Amino acid sequence: MIFPICFGRNIRTMSTFVSRINRITGKMEWDFRDDEYDFKQEIARSSYADMLHDTERNRLYYEGLKVAIELKRKAGQAVHVLDIGTGTGLLSMMAARLGADTVHACEAFTPMAECAKKIIAENGFTDKITVIPKRSTELKIGPDMPCRANILVTEVFDTELIGEGAISTFTHAHNELLEEGCIVVPSRGTVFIQLVSSELVRRWNQITDFSGPLDLRTPPGILRCGGAPSLHDLQLDQLPEDKFTKLSEPFKVFSFDFTGQSPLLADRTTKSSVEMIVSGSVDAVFMWWDLEMDPEGEITLSCAPHWAHPTPHNMQWRDHWMQAIYYPYSQLTVEKGETINVISKHDEYSLWFDVAKGHLQGGCLDDRPICTCGAHIAYSRSRMGMLSDPARRDTYTRILKQHIKAGESTVLCISDGSLLPLMAARLGAKHVYVIESNFLCTRVMGEFVTVNGLKDRVTILDRSVQDIQAADIPDKIDIVVGEPVFQTAVLPWDAISFWYIAQALGSCLSPGLVCLPRTLTVYALPVEYEHLWKIRANVGVSEGFDISQFDKLIQSNSESVDEVVEPQPLWEYPCRASGPVMPVLTVDGTQPLDSMPLLENVVQLHVDSNQPCNGIALWAEFNFGDDHVISTGPTQPIKIGCKVIWDYYSKQGVHLFYNNTKSSGQLLTNSAIEATVKFDPAHGELCFKFTPHWSNS
Q: Where are the alpha helices (DSSP H) in 123-264?
A: 166-176, 199-203, 220-224
Considering only CA atoms, which of 262, 287, 47 is closest in space to residue 164? 47
Phi, psi of 103 (to 5 degrees): -135, 125
**How remote is the C-alpha of 608 from its chain's centroid?**
31
Considering only CA atoms, which of 690, 603, 607, 605 is closest in space to residue 641? 607
Angle of the 110-122 helix axis to the 90-97 helix axis, nearest 10: 30
Reported residue count of the chain is 697
Q: Cα separations (Å) of 62 from 178, 299, 478?
A: 20, 11, 68
Annotated catalytic residue within 107, 155, 436, 621: 155
CA 603 to CA 678: how far, in whole Å? 11
Residue 85 φ/ψ region, left for φ over 0, alpha for ψ in the -120 to 50 degree band, beta for the rest: left
H helix or E strand, kind and range, residue 62: helix 55-74
Answer for the pair 428, 402: CB distance below 8 angstroms, yes or no. Answer: no
Torsion angle in degrees (nearest 10) through CA of 27, 28, 29, 33: 130
Three-state secondary-structure class, residue 66:
helix
Burial label for 42, CB within 10 Å (0-12, 13-18, 19+), is middle
Active site (annotated) includes residue 566: no
Q: Where are the alpha helices (DSSP H) in 389-438?
A: 390-403, 420-426
- In one-letter notation, the amino acid at residue 200 is L
CA 652 to CA 338: how far, in whole Å? 42
Phi, psi of 242 (to 5 degrees): -80, 0
Active site (annotated) includes residue 164: yes
Q: Cα separations (Å) of 660 from 41, 56, 531, 604?
A: 21, 20, 11, 21
Annotated catalytic residue within 114, 164, 179, 566: 164
Three-state secondary-structure class, residue 222:
helix
Extended beta strands in 317-466, E state = 323-326, 333-334, 339-346, 351-356, 410-414, 431-435, 458-461
- In one-letter notation, the amino acid at residue 693 is H
CA 518 to CA 412: how far, in whole Å? 15
Considering only CA atoms, which of 175, 384, 208 is closest in space to residue 281? 208
Cα atoms in the 13 Å half-sphere on the side-chain side of 270: 17
The catalytic site residues sit at 155, 164
